[in-house]
């Protein structure tokens, strides 16, 4: 209101504080100018300079990543199997077919549960060597019944699949995964593959990811790339596709090759169960439990591999509201995680050249 009065009267903003008589509104306006010059202007200038510095740092980071991606493309660098994969065989003993636990955490996923369960049950892997856990946190009785019936249908076909439902949904997804890993039969499995309910892996997913663990005891995680079935649905999905393609083709790939570290994407990845256990397992302390376990595993010395040529299909948020909720989680969680992990990062003997929360 004072600023509007000053403009209405045509006061000289630069000289008003000294020239105006100390009466009425003029006195209030002069005091405001002195306050603004002494306290607000330096603060705003500092914030502006900080934003410029952060922009330059981010721009340099993006430039370096793009150059790294170009180098990887030119040199055709990609993860190589330490041991050549053995020919496919029906007999599990004739090839490298370790015991794999496959988890599908879901919550009220009425639209996609059938596709995700079908895709996982059709994985090309000896049925005796993998078990599917459908981890249903739905609070809708109708949805629970539908998912339970779908699991029963696949059980009748011979698929090794179990339905789990928690009464108390403590910890959300992290709590769901933590509860599932506490099952007594998990000790019989060496690896765990995780797929969110809207992901449909190709049948050869395990055959293209799990062999990287063979004769590579330091490897804790193999992460596949996401691809999007609805990338051309509308302008929002097209923009998301461009942004996430940069994330996978540049950020994940460059960090994986040069730093041997990147944040777990929470799905479409295979973990060595020993790596999860030694890193403290799933924790409910942040909304980004996937990045949390990745940071802790890296600090414990585990290696990661990102496979840019192995894709797992999923869907992008098509509405602004769904997109807004997703981005809020992705951007607020990493800062909370950084605050929690910074003491461990400082004390760790593992050299972290970069800690990117994007």
Q: Annotated active-site positions, please?
A: 137, 290
User: Helices (H) and strands (E) in the chain — how many of each?
Assistant: 13, 8
- Rg of the chain on CA atoms, in Å: 26
Task: Find, among 316, 317, 226, the residue nearest to 268 by Cα.
Answer: 226
Q: Which two tokens stand for residue 327?
A: 């981005």
Task: Find, among 211, 191, 239, 176, the residue nearest to 82 by Cα.
Answer: 211
Phi, psi of 27 (to 5 degrees): -65, -45
List of residues 6+ apart from 161 with CB closer than 8 A: 117, 121, 131, 132, 133, 134, 151, 154, 155
148 in the Ramachandran plot: left (φ > 0), alpha (ψ -120 to 50) or beta?
Answer: alpha
Q: If 0-12 CB within 10 Å is exposed, 13-18 middle and 19+ buried, where does residue 102 land?
A: buried
Query: How far is Cα 30 from Cα 26, in angstroms, rounded to an integer?
Result: 6
List of residues 6+ apart from 232 with CB closer than 8 A: 238
Residue carrying the six token digits 């585990």: 302
On whether the CB atoms of residues 289 and 173 are closer than 8 A, the answer is yes
Question: What three-state secondary structure class fits 304?
Answer: strand
């Amino acid at each position: 209101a004072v600023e509007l009065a000053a403009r209405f009267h045509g006061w000289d903003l630069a000289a008003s504080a000294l020239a105006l008589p100390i009466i009425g509104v003029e006195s209030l306006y002069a005091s405001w100018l002195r306050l603004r010059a002494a306290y607000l202007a330096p603060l705003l200038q500092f914030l502006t300079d900080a934003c410029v510095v952060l922009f330059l740092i981010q721009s340099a980071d993006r430039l370096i990543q793009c150059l790294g991606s170009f180098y990887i493309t030119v040199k055709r660098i990609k993860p190589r199997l330490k041991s050549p994969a053995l020919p496919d065989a029906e007999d599990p003993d004739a090839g490298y077919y370790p015991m794999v636990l496959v988890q599908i955490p879901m919550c009220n996923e009425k639209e996609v549960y059938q596709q995700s369960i079908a895709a996982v049950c059709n994985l090309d892997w000896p049925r005796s060597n993998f078990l599917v856990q459908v981890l249903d946190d739905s609070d809708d009785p109708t949805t629970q019944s539908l998912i339970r019936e779908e699991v029963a249908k696949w059980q009748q076909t011979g698929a090794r699949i179990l339905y789990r439902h928690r009464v108390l949904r403590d910890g959300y997804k992290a709590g769901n995964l933590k509860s599932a890993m506490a099952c007594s039969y998990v000790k019989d499995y060496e690896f765990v593959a995780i797929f969110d309910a809207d992901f449909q892996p190709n049948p050869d997913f395990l055959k293209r990811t799990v062999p990287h663990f063979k004769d590579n005891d330091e490897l804790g995680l193999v992460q596949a790339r996401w691809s999007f079935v609805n990338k051309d649905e509308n302008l929002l999905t097209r923009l998301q596709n461009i942004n996430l393609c940069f994330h996978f083709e540049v950020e994940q790939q460059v960090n994986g090759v040069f730093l041997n570290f990147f944040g777990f994407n929470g799905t479409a990845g295979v973990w060595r169960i020993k790596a999860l256990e030694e890193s403290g397992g799933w924790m409910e302390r942040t909304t980004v439990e996937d990045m949390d376990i990745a940071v802790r595993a890296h600090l414990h010395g585990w290696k990661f591999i990102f496979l840019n040529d192995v894709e797992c299909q999923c869907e992008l948020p098509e509405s602004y509201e769904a997109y807004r909720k997703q981005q809020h989680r992705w951007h607020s969680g990493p800062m909370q995680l950084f605050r929690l992990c910074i003491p461990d990062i400082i004390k760790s003997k593992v050299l972290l050249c970069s800690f990117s929360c994007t």
